[in-house]
């Protein structure tokens, strides 16, 4: 048999009643439509009454799920038992140093280290990472940052960016101690270990030094948590005098920056999901300020990388000009002075309906491409010699032997003869490769395995199976599914199932190894990852067909994936749960309203379930940035009506809802805690069923939950135990589990 019990386990009766929030009607009127919101008052985060209510929600949740504690503990121990807790990353070479991180058993956070590299003139030897052993300090090892020391006495700890000067003398790092993604930046002199007096508060992700080490660049967010300024701090000067290099006033545009690969330019990226703009600053012409590559007025979605090609200033453009899946071109910067229609762009990678170009970058010798084909992301390299001409070389792609995998560039030094790549699949733990860039000596390129993350506890990939299947949506569209199961599960219609999805922002749910997931599969749960419209798995059109006025395709695709599982023989239709987070939490709320009878449980992690209220208020964090994804319901009556027809909070109804767990964090700045808090109250007030609806709120966490790895493992164990208990799959399959 492939399961333990054929019916879902019911939670024991609890004497604790769910907290009932008082009703204070708030009238919302837009485009002639009136909505009365009884729970909007829960937004008052500083209110003692609100905090008490949230604590009462936790008390209720703890009572309802108390019987799951042994299962949670078992799953936590399985995650811990499979993880090599004392471990390290593969060293990466940058500016004459090897950088790496260590993790130590019993400690929550990683330790950032480095050791000097040697330069013998032998490129193979010089770019072979040093052998660093877990728990063994090596000669000359320097600790840059010990997260465990930094986190002492703090409720939360996260690093939002770090940078080292080219000469290796100064180290800048940004720390968040509350979970709200606002960081404090400090600078350490690595020669003495002393901190410089320069301290910059309330910055966002992204930190970089100028090549000469005299300036530090960083981003600042506005009141709605949108990065809108890039600033430059001259070391040793008052922070109050920091220069605003650029300020983006359009509330619907996101701002970020990076250094060009050759570090001759600061590259500012401004954009939304539909069009963008790049601004460049040449460090050797700093006083000349920023220059625009292509104005946003042309409504192109593009990225620009300045570099030297045959000694001549050149721009590498990855763009969607007459190319929905994007293409790659070269342009002489002098061309930018001419009208766009008259500019001469040389094609490097042509447009394809079957291949999505995700990005392109350069090393000193090669162009490095990231493309997606047949749902799988791939890496290709082309020599710079002859690029954009009739003698352009053919792309070379490292070959892997699995059908479903993820491979991507994970960072490389501009002058390196190799590119560092990450590789993983559903049942192959993450690997680190160095791909030797093809040259006359090594024309085919070569993959050098530097590390495969160890998995303890007797793990064997042969115990599990991953297949690609296809569901058929209501409109006939074929929706790709990744179906994961333990090899011993039989196709007899008796197993439990879990359907997972996201389906927004062109984000793809790519194959990746997950230790925690094994605890579900080992209990006979068949997991389906639904690659639904709104994601990016099948190119840009796949995304376009699941946003704005086609958003409901995301939800109906997910239900189609559920129907496929129910009819496949791999699961009992009465034992299927659903899970998703953030925008995937909106998905959970939508499918709970549309097809509650198809699920015995729904886990909604940091769920965007009150999306319309949020997007109607441009003062709320990141709201204006959402208009390109969902439409602008403030100005567009059609967008308002369409959103109101599916947003979970407005569409709760008198139906028998399944068990529902809303999991959130008090300090989340992306999806505010108030959304699930209101949703849970609305659900309880109308549900005709008897299943419990709970909210678990982490009072010290951010959008990713709490910060330490052990705490995060326990959070994952909580979610998975809720699912396993709900679908009646709490016992390990014979022979499964830790060995």
**CATH code of the domain containing 447:** 2.130.10.120
Residue 711 has a pLDDT of 85
Of the ranges 154-168, 512-526, 690-704, 712-726, which one carries the lowest mean pLDDT score?
690-704
| % of the chain residues with pLDDT over 90 | 82
Q: Which of 112, 113, 159 is nearest to 707 (CA)?
A: 159
Q: Is residue 645 part of a domain?
A: yes
**pLDDT at 4 exceeding the cut of 60:** no
**pLDDT at 9 exceeding the cut of 50:** no
Kindly report, residue by residue over 534-571, the tens digit of the pLDDT: 999 999 999 999 999 999 999 999 999 999 999 999 99
582 carries an active-site annotation: yes
β-pair partners for 419: 435
Q: Are residues 571 and 699 in the same domain?
A: yes
**pLDDT at 302 exceeding the cut of 60:** yes
How many residues can be counted in the chain? 739
* DSSP 8-state secondary structure symbol assigned to residue 594: H
Residue 10 has a pLDDT of 44
Identify the band that residue 224 occupies on the pLDDT scale cut at 50, 70 and 90. confident
Query: Distance of alpha carbon 90 from its chain centroid, rounded?
Result: 22
Top-confidence residue, 428 or 624: 428
Residue 440 has a pLDDT of 66
492 within 8 A of 717, measured Cβ to Cβ: no
* Sheet of strand 346-349, all strands in order from the earlier edge strand to the far edge: 302-309, 312-319, 327-331, 346-349
- Mean pLDDT for 198-224 is 95
CB atoms within 10 A of CB 106: 8
| % of the chain residues with pLDDT over 70 | 95
Residue 710 has a pLDDT of 86
Q: Are residues 624 and 711 in the same domain?
A: yes
Q: Is residue 146 part of a domain?
A: no
- Mean pLDDT for 432-453 is 83
Of the ranges 163-167, 453-457, 721-725, which one carries the lowest mean pLDDT score?
453-457
**pLDDT at 1 exceeding the cut of 60:** no
Q: How far apart are CA 566 and CA 482, in angstroms?
A: 15
Catalytic residue among 557, 668, 719, 725: 668
Residue 623 has a pLDDT of 66
DSSP E strands in 410-565: the ranges are 418-425, 431-436, 446-452, 464-472, 478-486, 496-501, 525-530
Q: Could you tell me the end-to-end alpha-carbon distance of the chain, in angstroms, rounded to an integer?
A: 21
Q: Are residues 466 and 445 in the same domain?
A: no
Q: How far apart are CA 624 and CA 200, in angstroms?
A: 27
Q: Are residues 564 and 429 in the same domain?
A: no
Query: Distance of alpha carbon 287 from its chain centroid, rounded?
Result: 37
Residue where a domain stops, chosen among 454, 480, 500:
454
Residue where a domain stops, chosen among 454, 488, 507:
454
Identify the band that residue 8 occupies on the pLDDT scale cut at 50, 70 and 90. very low
SS3 636: coil
Q: How far apart are CA 494 and CA 575, in angstroms?
A: 8
Q: Is residue 281 part of a domain?
A: no
179 within 8 A of 159, measured Cβ to Cβ: no
**pLDDT at 405 exceeding the cut of 80:** yes
37 within 8 A of 22, measured Cβ to Cβ: no
257 within 8 A of 206, measured Cβ to Cβ: yes
Q: Taking all residues of the chain, what is their mean pLDDT, rounded to a whole number?
A: 93
Catalytic residue among 53, 329, 703, 707: 703
Kindly report, residue by residue over 510-525, the tens digit of the pLDDT: 999 999 999 999 999 9
Kindly report, residue by residue over 176-209, the tens digit of the pLDDT: 988 888 999 999 999 999 999 999 999 999 999 9
Identify the band that residue 2 occupies on the pLDDT scale cut at 50, 70 and 90. very low
Query: What is the residue range of 710's domain?
Result: 30-82+458-726
Q: Are residues 574 and 433 in the same domain?
A: no
Query: What is the domain-level CATH number for residue 514?
Result: 3.40.50.1820
The structure tokens 């790092």 sit at 173
Residue 722 has a pLDDT of 98
465 within 8 A of 527, measured Cβ to Cβ: no
The domain total for the chain is 2
Number of H helices, E strands in the chain: 13, 38
703 carries an active-site annotation: yes
Query: Distance of alpha carbon 562 from its chain centroid, rounded?
Result: 24
Residue 266 has a pLDDT of 98
Q: Is residue 541 part of a domain?
A: yes
β-pair partners for 370: 359, 379
353 within 8 A of 325, measured Cβ to Cβ: yes
**pLDDT at 443 exceeding the cut of 70:** no
Q: Is residue 408 part of a domain?
A: yes
Q: Are residues 659 and 588 in the same domain?
A: yes
DSSP string for residues in 123-189:
HHHHTSPP---TT---TT-EEEEEHHHHHTT-S--EEEEEEE-TTS-EEEEEEESSSSS-EEEEEEE
Kindly report, residue by residue over 334-384, the tens digit of the pLDDT: 999 999 999 999 999 999 999 999 999 999 999 999 999 999 999 999 999
Residue where a domain stops, chosen among 407, 428, 454:
454
Q: Are residues 429 and 478 in the same domain?
A: no
305 membership: H or E segment, kind and range: strand 302-309
**pLDDT at 85 exceeding the cut of 90:** no
614 membership: H or E segment, kind and range: helix 611-615
Structure-token pair, residue 248: 């983006």
Q: Is residue 562 part of a domain?
A: yes
Own/partner contacts of 154-160, CB < 8 Å, gap of 24 or more, are 155/179, 155/700, 156/667, 156/700, 156/701, 156/702, 156/706, 156/707, 157/108, 157/109, 157/707, 157/708, 158/702, 158/707, 160/203, 160/204, 160/205, 160/206, 160/207
Q: Are residues 426 and 487 in the same domain?
A: no
Q: Are residues 488 and 631 in the same domain?
A: yes
Q: Are residues 514 and 445 in the same domain?
A: no
Q: Are residues 386 and 496 in the same domain?
A: no
- Mean pLDDT for 604-622 is 87
Q: Are residues 444 and 474 in the same domain?
A: no
SS3 78: helix
Q: Is residue 530 part of a domain?
A: yes
Residue 11 has a pLDDT of 45
178's CB contacts (< 8 A; 6+ apart) are 155, 156, 667, 700, 702
């Amino acid at each position: 048999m492939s399961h333990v019990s054929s019916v879902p386990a019911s939670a024991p009766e609890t004497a604790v009643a769910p907290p009932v929030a008082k009703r204070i009607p708030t009238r919302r009127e837009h485009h002639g439509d009136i909505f009365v919101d009884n729970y909007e008052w829960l937004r008052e985060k500083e209110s003692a009454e609100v905090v008490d209510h949230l604590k009462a929600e936790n008390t209720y949740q703890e009572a309802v799920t108390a019987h799951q504690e042994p299962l949670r503990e078992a799953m936590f121990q399985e995650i811990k038992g499979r993880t090599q807790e004392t471990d390290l990353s593969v060293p990466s070479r940058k500016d004459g140093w090897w950088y790496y991180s260590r993790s130590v058993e019993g400690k929550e956070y990683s330790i950032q280290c480095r050791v000097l590299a040697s330069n013998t003139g032998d490129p193979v030897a010089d770019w072979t990472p040093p052998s660093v052993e877990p728990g063994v300090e090596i000669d000359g090892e320097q600790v840059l940052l010990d997260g465990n020391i930094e986190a002492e006495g703090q409720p939360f700890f996260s690093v939002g960016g770090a940078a080292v000067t080219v000469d290796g003398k100064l180290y800048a790092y940004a720390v968040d101690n509350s979970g709200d993604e606002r960081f404090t930046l400090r600078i350490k002199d690595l020669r003495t270990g002393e901190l410089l007096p320069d301290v910059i508060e309330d910055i966002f992700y992204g930190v970089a030094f100028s090549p000469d080490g005299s300036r530090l660049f960083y981003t600042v967010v506005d009141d709605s948590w949108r990065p809108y300024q890039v600033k430059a701090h001259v070391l040793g000067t008052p922070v109050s005098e920091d220069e605003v290099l650029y300020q983006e006033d359009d509330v619907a545009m996101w701002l970020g920056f990076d250094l060009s690969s050759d570090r001759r330019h600061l590259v500012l990226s401004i954009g939304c999901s539909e069009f963008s703009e790049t601004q460049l600053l040449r460090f050797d012409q700093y006083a000349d300020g920023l220059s625009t590559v292509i104005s946003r007025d042309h409504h192109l979605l593009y990225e620009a990388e300045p570099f030297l090609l045959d000694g001549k200033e050149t721009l590498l453009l990855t763009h969607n000009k007459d190319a929905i899946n994007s293409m790659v071109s070269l342009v002489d910067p002098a061309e930018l002075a001419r009208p766009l229609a008259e500019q001469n762009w040389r094609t490097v990678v042509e447009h394809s309906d079957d291949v999505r170009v995700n990005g392109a970058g350069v090393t000193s010798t090669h162009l490095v491409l990231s493309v997606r084909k047949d749902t799988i992301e791939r890496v290709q390299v082309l020599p710079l010699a002859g690029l954009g001409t009739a003698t352009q070389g053919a792309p070379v792609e490292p070959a892997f032997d699995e059908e479903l995998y993820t491979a991507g560039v994970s960072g490389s030094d501009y002058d390196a003869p190799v590119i560092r790549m990450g590789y993983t699949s559903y049942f192959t733990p993450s690997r680190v490769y160095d791909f030797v860039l093809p040259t006359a000596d090594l024309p085919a390129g070569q993959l050098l395995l530097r590390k495969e993350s160890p998995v303890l506890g007797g793990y064997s990939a042969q115990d599990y199976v991953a297949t690609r299947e296809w569901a058929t949506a209501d409109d006939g569209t074929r929706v790709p599914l990744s179906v994961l199961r333990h090899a011993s599960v039989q196709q007899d219609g008796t197993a439990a199932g879990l359907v997972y999805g996201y389906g927004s922002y062109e984000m793809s749910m790519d194959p990746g190894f997950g230790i925690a997931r094994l605890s579900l599969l080992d209990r006979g749960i068949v997991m389906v990852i639904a690659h639904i419209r709104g994601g990016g798995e099948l190119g840009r059109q796949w995304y376009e067909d699941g946003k704005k006025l086609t958003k409901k395709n995301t939800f109906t695709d997910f239900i189609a994936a559920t129907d496929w599982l129910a009819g496949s023989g791999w699961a009992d239709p009465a034992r299927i749960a659903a899970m998703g987070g953030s925008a995937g939490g909106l998905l959970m709320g939508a499918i709970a309203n549309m097809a509650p009878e198809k699920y015995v449980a729904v886990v909604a992690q940091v769920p965007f379930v009150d999306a319309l209220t949020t997007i109607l208020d441009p003062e709320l964090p990141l709201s204006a940035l959402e208009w390109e994804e969902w439409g602008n319901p403030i100005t567009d009556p059609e967008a308002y009506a369409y959103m109101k027809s599916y947003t979970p909070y407005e569409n709760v109804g008198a139906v028998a809802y399944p068990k529902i767990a809303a999991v959130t964090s008090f300090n989340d700045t992306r999806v505010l805690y108030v959304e699930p808090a209101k949703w849970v109250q609305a659900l309880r007030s109308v549900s005709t069923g008897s299943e419990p609806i709970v909210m678990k709120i982490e009072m010290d966490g951010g959008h990713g939950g709490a910060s330490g790895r052990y705490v995060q493992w326990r959070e994952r164990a909580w979610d998975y135990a809720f699912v396993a208990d709900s679908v009646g799959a709490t016992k390990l399959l014979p022979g499964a589990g830790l060995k």
